[in-house]
Structures are given as C-alpha cells and as structure tokens.
Amino acid sequence: MGQVVLVTGVARSLAGRFVRRIQRDPQVDRVVAVDAVPPEHHLGAADFVQADIRQPTIARVLAESGADTVVHMDVTGTALAGGSRATVKETNVIGTMQLLGACQKSPSVQRLVVKSSTNVYGSASRDPAVFTETTPAKSLPSGGFAKDIVEVEGYVRGFARRRPDVAVCVLRFANILGPTADTPLASYFSLPVLPTVFGYDPRLQFVHEDDVIEVLRIAAHEPRRGTLNSGTFNIAGDGVLLLSQCSRRLGRPTVPLLLPAVTWAGSLVRTLGMTDFSPEQIRLLTHGRVVDTDEMRRTLGFSPRYTTAETFADFARAQGAGLLPPEALAGAVDRIAALSLRGSGHPPTQSAD
C-alpha cells in the first residue's frame, strides 16, 4: 500500500496545485482534498471532501480516510471571496487545533506537514540581520496573521510532544510570489503606485510558488538518505532585494510617506478592497526580514530552483508593464540620488540595478 495523503485548504489555488502534483508521485495511492467550500479549480483524481476543519467532523473525515500523511495548507493571511479577517483567524487557529486533535487520535497518521510563514519572526527595528530557525522574535506579533502563525506553531509543538511517533515538519515560507500568487504582498506590488515608508528601504526575500509546491512534496514523503523530513525550516530563495529595486523592476513609482500617513493609506486601500495592507505588512515594508536557509539545504535536502531575484522577475513578467519603463524609472531615481548626494558633499553612486 502506498501513501494516503490528506490536504487541507484545497479551495486555494496553491493547495490545488499541490494536490494535482502530489497525486502524480508513484508512492502515493490516494489523495483526500479537504475544504469548507468546493474549489473552483480541478483537483485531478483526488477525492474532495467538503468539511470545515474548525468543526469536530474533521476527526471523522481523517479517520475514514485512513490518511498516514497530513499536509496542512489551510493557514493563510488572506480570506477567500466574501470572507472576513475573523473567519481567517478562526480557520488558522481553531481549525489547526481541531485538525491536530484529530491527528492525535488517529493511529494511522505518521507524518504531518504544516505550511507556516517567516511572519513568525515579526519585523522590528532591532531585529538581527538574519533570522535562523532558533532565533526568537524581538517582539511577539500583537495581531494579524503573524500572531496566528505564532499560535499555530505553538499548537504544533504541543502535538509533536504528545505524538513523538509522528514526523512533524513545519515549513516557514518567506513571501510567496509567482505568476499566479495570491498573497498580500503580491496585491501590494500590483498597485499602480507603491506607498513606502519615508526613510526606509527594507530588504525582502521571496520564494517562488513552484518551489513551494516542490518542498511541500519533499516534506510529505519519506526522507532520502542523509536527510531528515522533520523539524522547522526556513524556506526562501537565495539573495535579497531592496524594496526600491522591486519598484524599479516593476516600473512602478513609489510614494514615500511618513509612517502615520502610510498607516492611513493602508486603512484606505483596505476599505476600498484594493489590497490587505495590514499593520504587519507595513512593518515588513519598514524594517524588512531576511532568514537563513542553511537547514533547508543541509537537513531537508532542498535547494530552490529560483533565487529571490528570479522569483520577483517571474512575478513582474506576469504583471505586465508598469506606469514607467523600468530603465527610465531607475535613471530618474539615480539622477535624484546623485543631485542629493552632490548637495551633501558626497560623491554620487550608481544604482543597485
């Protein structure tokens, strides 16, 4: 008998892609796809079960499926159409509690993979230059998706203590981008003009949606010789990009605002439904975040296909032309920087792009 894999959150496109990919693996006999709403995309030969993981019925679904592997992808920062932030939080936190309770009771479960986020580290002015998996956050997130992730990982650690026989793998993904990515940061970069925090140019890391699918697939299977598919791992493409570099490569102008004005602008775009410009995203666009990925390569045995720059380039191609040609925008920024430096008595420097 091959693996029986249960996947949550399949109404979202990323989880749908994973379901279609994992069922092609020869060691997988059956895939059970679970969500509270039917997906609009196809799931291949997977068995779809309409169930809300916030409800105790998920225990019955897990028991009847006989799944030995659970891939929990219903942890997200954005709501499906018509959803609310309260619904998202309930699914993230209460849903994870119910799912872990079901896994704890199930003798068939041997492996649990949880889609987490580097949001767990937060973003603050006194953060280290690079976070490792064991680096504590300088200040715990006070709300939003970041706080959800902290709570989710706390419940997962408790489950791992209660069921030491289950291999538990937590994947902390950097900001996910790609041609079809549906994330808060993708929505932000889709704005015609990018509001930024005056005086800050944060370092950002990205992971390509194709790499997300591949590392989830690796984590869901038995580890290869010399690797260990359990533990907590940062997942990100090599390298970093500054926010200013991102805007130039998109051809989108930025509007530097003082922090109170950025907060007000964030409330406005949320009200208009343009993007979920949350306080945690504003902190990211102020202080940035960079994580170390040595454990991903050494212990998990995964090397991303895309670097951070290549991930962003693929995302930018799908976005189409911005308001200004990237070359013209970069040249204008360089000229303004050169004038300001000349006025301050410092020699001008070339753009990073």
Q: What is the pLDDT of residues 114-151, one digit of tens each?
A: 999 999 999 988 999 999 999 988 777 777 888 999 99
SS (H, E, C) 232-280: EEEECCCCCEEHHHHHHHHCCCEEEECHHHHHHHHHHHHHHCCCCCCHH
Q: Are 3 and 68 within 8 A, CB to CB?
A: yes
Q: For residue 56, count CB atoms less than 10 angstroms from its CB and return exposed for 0-12, middle for 13-18, buried for 19 or more.
A: exposed
Q: For residue 260, count CB atoms less than 10 angstroms from its CB and return exposed for 0-12, middle for 13-18, buried for 19 or more.
A: exposed
Confidence of residue 336 (pLDDT cuts 50, 70, 90): very low
Q: What is the pLDDT of residues 72-127, one digit of tens each?
A: 999 988 877 666 778 889 999 999 999 999 999 999 999 999 999 999 999 988 99
Beta bridge partners of 146: none
Q: Which helix (H) or strand (E) holds 101?
A: helix 95-105
Confidence of residue 27 (pLDDT cuts 50, 70, 90): very high
Q: What is the pLDDT of residues 176-204, one digit of tens each?
A: 999 999 888 998 899 888 989 999 999 99
For the whole model, what pTM was predicted? Answer: 0.88
**Strand residue runs (E) in 174-219:** 175-177, 194-197, 203-204, 206-208
126: three-class secondary structure by DSSP = coil
Torsion angles phi and psi, residue 278, rounded to 5: -80, 165
In this structure, the strands spanning 203-204 and 241-242 are antiparallel
Confidence of residue 340 (pLDDT cuts 50, 70, 90): very low
In this structure, the strands spanning 69-72 and 3-8 are parallel
Confidence of residue 313 (pLDDT cuts 50, 70, 90): very high
Confidence of residue 333 (pLDDT cuts 50, 70, 90): very low
**pLDDT given at position 337:** 42
Q: Which helix (H) or strand (E) holds 47?
A: strand 47-50
Q: Are 71 and 95 within 8 A, CB to CB?
A: no
**pLDDT given at position 134:** 95
Q: Are 141 and 121 within 8 A, CB to CB?
A: no
pLDDT at 330 over 70: no
* DSSP code string of 312-347: HHHHHHHH---SS-HHHHHHHHHHHHHHHHHHHTPP
SS3 content of the chain, % helix, strand, coil (to 5): 40, 15, 40
Integer Cα distance of 113 and 156 in angstroms: 10
Q: What is the pLDDT of residues 203-250, one digit of tens each?
A: 999 999 999 999 999 999 988 777 788 899 999 999 999 999 999 999
Integer Cα distance of 64 and 84 in angstroms: 31
pLDDT at 303 over 70: yes
The single residue listed with the structure tokens 């925090």 is 197
pLDDT at 341 over 90: no
Q: Domains of the chain by range and CATH?
A: 3-178+206-237+290-306 (3.40.50.720)
Report in angstroms the alpha-carbon separations of 125 from 107, 134, 139, 244.
46, 19, 10, 19
Q: For 23-43, b where at least 16 C-beta lie within 10 A, e where not — what string?
A: beeeebebbbbbbbeebeeeb
Across the chain, mean pLDDT equals 87
pLDDT at 323 over 60: no
